[in-house]
Structure 1
Amino acid sequence: MNDMRTRQQTVRDLYAAYLEDRKDKVIAMLTEDFTFSSPRDDHIDRAAYFERCWPKQPFFRAIHIEFLAVDGDEAAVRYRAEKLEGGSFANMESLRFRGDKIASVEVYFGRNL
């Protein structure tokens, strides 16, 4: 499988792991020096990401990937997430790879749907 298809699958597996509440799978996908940024978090490290951003209990009913593009070491994804308690939102994320692992994620918040 070529790198682009492998990285597309890694991105899909990342969102599937959120739905499955499989933090262990996500840990294996990230580099040791992984960073996460969003309008609420500025370049936090891997430990802070799991503490602040990983749901303490299942949060999502579904995550629908609407757009996914990979170009070299970067991926862009637009998705619609449905929350268990109702409601949904749309976001975009920029992911950077180092080898076969995700080195960083930058989230751009969309709107509530």
Structure 2
Amino acid sequence: MTNKDLILAYFNCYEIGDRNRLQSLLDEDFQFSSPHDPTLTKEDYFRKCWPFHKKATAYHIDTFLEDKNSIFVIYTCTTDNENKFENAEYFQIENAKIKKVRVFYGTLN
């Protein structure tokens, strides 16, 4: 699996609600951060972030920038009530697993 395939699989897990597969894509020492969650462990990530899969129906990758061990994406997410929002995420990959995710978002005026 290429790094790009790994990230596409990550988003697909949210679309189809496949927690087991998502867990298999993440490194044991996985870390997640966002403006509201400065540093979450893998366990905290699943407790706090995974429930969103029930609302996320589709992810459309608008921008995909890849380096040897990192990928930056900008995507549009569609939710179950047809709302859309845009986020940017930076993924660090190690040994074919997602090691870290940093999410960037803000509010629009």
- The TM-score, its normalising length taken from structure 2, stands at 0.92
- How many angstroms does 1:86 deviate by? 2.6
Contact 2:27/2:98, CA 8 A, preserved across alignment: yes
Query: Could you say which residue in structure 1 is the equivalent of 2:60?
Result: 64
Contact 1:66/1:80, CA 8 A, preserved across alignment: yes
Separation in 1, partners of 2:63, 2:15: 18
Separation in 2, partners of 1:78, 1:109: 10
Partner of 2:9: helix, strand, or coil?
A: helix
Q: Which structure 1 segments of 5+ residues have no match?
A: none
Separation in 1, partners of 2:48, 2:56: 16
Query: Could you say which residue in structure 2 is the equivalent of 1:32?
Result: 28
- The TM-score, its normalising length taken from structure 1, stands at 0.89
Work out which of the residue numbers 96, 104, 109 in structure 1 matches 2:105: 109
Give the fraction of aligned pairs with identical amino acids, expressed as a percent: 29
Q: Which structure 2 segments of 5+ residues have no match?
A: none
The number of aligned residues is: 108
- How many angstroms does 1:94 deviate by? 0.2
Separation in 2, partners of 1:106, 1:28: 19
Contact 2:32/2:102, CA 8 A, preserved across alignment: yes
Which segments of structure 1 move beyond 4 Å, counting only runs of 4 or more?
A: none
